[in-house]
């Protein structure tokens, strides 16, 4: 009797890095997975023919503010995290960083505590935390509450360093105006994924922050100094580096598809450009509005805005981001899926060397050929 209990055939298979044709995804009796040539599928195993489409690992999303009708900023609890994770699993995301938008020190501490507890309770999908602020630039605040934005103090730094000791992954978005290079270096040395964002800093300042240990950029183009002919800003610094990851909200609203196309052509290393949803409470839900730090956010035509029209996160599912990347910017489908799986995963700790597709921590799904939908295949 073969150790293969079931095999999925009839679809292309993406392992997180590249697409395999004429292969099957084998599910073994012990729950492990492997890729085998279609001709090698044993006769005595259960066979499921998917008749087209793409088998892919669950997505990895490093910027998730909410989902299932709730926001992490509103309630820093395990129940909230479980609701968010389940909502995102329903739309294809297997691993995520719940993201706390600029808030008070007490809520930051509560958020870290809640993520610790969720991980200890093995809430599926929660793999760390992303603190987006409060150490940002008020000049590039976006939807962040300017009353809560402030420079990083020694006490703030201590909170982040302590979190890095007890959590598998801590991501911290800062502006160089509000966090020194020495603080960036301390965080980076402690294993924190330091990301630059919500900043008006110039090119040289951003390059110095990268040299100090910042390794990522939060939602490229949005809420940051732009690429100019005399001052390249954070956008220019990002494109000029080959060693920096950059998140991109590919909803055709936050960044025009033509700009994404130009970015992929201009980047020193576009393989490090990854997709994020910046999802809010609306993800995986039917709600049409919610409250963020006391301000109403309205959902209309895949757009989330404050009442003054300011964009406030994104009404985006990762599968739609893939469709935008492939159908509107011309990105190769294999590259687009990698940007939603293996590329962000490479920033995270706590995973082995196997591909996301073969990792038992990740579920698997079946994308339609036109990237219009997905079906979860199982754990």
Task: Verify whether residue 278 is a known catalytic residue.
Answer: yes
Q: What is d(CA 310, CA 296) in angstroms, rounded to the nearest whole number?
A: 11
Predicted confidence at residue 2, as pLDDT, reads 64
Let me know whether 77 and 26 are in one domain: no
Let me know whether 28 and 108 are in one domain: no
Q: What is d(CA 145, CA 158) in angstroms, rounded to the nearest whole number?
A: 23
Domain that holds residue 243: 57-353
Let me know whether 134 and 12 are in one domain: no
The CATH number of the domain holding residue 86 is 3.20.20.140
Predicted confidence at residue 58, as pLDDT, reads 97
Candidates 202, 278, 331, 335; catalytic one = 278
Let me know whether 29 and 111 are in one domain: no
Tens-binned pLDDT, residue by residue, of the chain (379 aa): 469 999 999 999 999 999 999 999 999 999 999 999 999 999 889 999 999 999 999 999 999 999 999 999 999 999 999 999 999 999 999 999 999 999 999 999 999 999 999 999 999 999 999 999 999 999 999 889 999 999 999 999 999 999 999 999 999 999 999 999 999 999 999 999 999 999 999 999 999 999 999 999 999 999 999 999 999 999 999 999 999 999 999 999 999 999 999 999 999 999 999 999 999 888 888 888 888 778 888 898 888 888 888 888 788 999 999 999 999 999 999 999 999 999 999 999 988 778 899 998 899 999 999 999 999 996 5
Let me know whether 33 and 177 are in one domain: no
Q: Tally the domains of the chain.
A: 2
| Residue 326 host element (H or E) | helix 318-327
Let me know whether 47 and 188 are in one domain: no
DSSP-assigned states of every residue in 140-165: G-TTS-GGG--PPPHHHHHHHHHHHH
Sign of the CA dihedral 175, 181, 187, 188?
positive
Let me know whether 156 and 279 are in one domain: yes
Q: What is d(CA 56, CA 248) in angstroms, rounded to the nearest whole number?
A: 20
Let me know whether 52 and 68 are in one domain: no
Let me know whether 21 and 142 are in one domain: no
Q: Give pTM, 2 decimals.
A: 0.95
The CATH number of the domain holding residue 46 is 2.30.40.10
Let me know whether 52 and 63 are in one domain: no
Let me know whether 247 and 290 are in one domain: yes
Let me know whether 129 and 164 are in one domain: yes
């Amino acid at each position: 009797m073969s150790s293969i209990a079931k095999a999925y055939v009839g679809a292309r298979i993406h392992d997180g890095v590249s697409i395999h044709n004429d292969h099957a995804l084998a599910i073994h009796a012990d729950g492990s997975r492997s890729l085998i040539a279609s001709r090698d599928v044993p006769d005595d195993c259960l066979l499921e023919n998917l008749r087209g489409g793409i088998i892919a690992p669950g997505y990895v999303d490093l910027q998730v503010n909410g989902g299932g009708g709730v926001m992490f900023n509103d309630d820093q609890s395990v129940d909230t995290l479980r609701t968010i994770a389940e909502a995102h699993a329903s739309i294809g995301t297997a691993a995520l960083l719940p993201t706390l938008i600029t808030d008070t020190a007490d809520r930051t501490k509560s958020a870290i505590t809640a993520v610790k507890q969720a991980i200890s309770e093995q809430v599926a999908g929660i793999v760390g935390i992303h603190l987006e602020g409060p150490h940002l630039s008020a000049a590039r605040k976006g939807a962040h509450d300017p009353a809560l934005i402030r420079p990083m103090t020694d006490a703030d730094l201590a909170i982040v360093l302590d979190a890095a000791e007890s959590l598998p992954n801590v991501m911290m978005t800062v502006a160089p105006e509000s966090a020194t290079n020495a603080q960036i270096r301390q965080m980076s040395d402690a294993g924190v994924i330091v990301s630059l964002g919500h900043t008006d800093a110039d090119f040289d300042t951003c390059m110095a922050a990268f040299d100090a240990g910042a390794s990522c950029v939060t939602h490229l183009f949005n809420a940051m100094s732009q690429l100019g002919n005399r001052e390249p800003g954070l956008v220019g610094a990002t494109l000029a580096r080959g060693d920096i990851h950059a998140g991109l909200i590919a909803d055709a609203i936050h960044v025009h598809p033509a700009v994404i196309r130009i970015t992929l052509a201009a980047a020193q290393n576009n393989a490090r450009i990854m997709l994020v949803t910046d999802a809010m409470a609306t993800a995986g839900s039917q709600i049409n509005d919610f409250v963020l730090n006391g301000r109403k956010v309205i959902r209309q035509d895949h757009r989330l805005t404050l009442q003054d029209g300011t964009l406030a996160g994104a009404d985006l599912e990762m599968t739609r981001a893939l469709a935008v990347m492939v159908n509107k910017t011309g990105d190769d489908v294999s590259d687009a899926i990698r940007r939603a799986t293996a590329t962000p995963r490479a920033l995270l700790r706590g995973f082995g060397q196997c591909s996301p597709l073969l990792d038992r921590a990740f579920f698997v799904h079946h994308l339609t050929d036109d990237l219009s939908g997905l079906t979860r295949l199982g754990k």
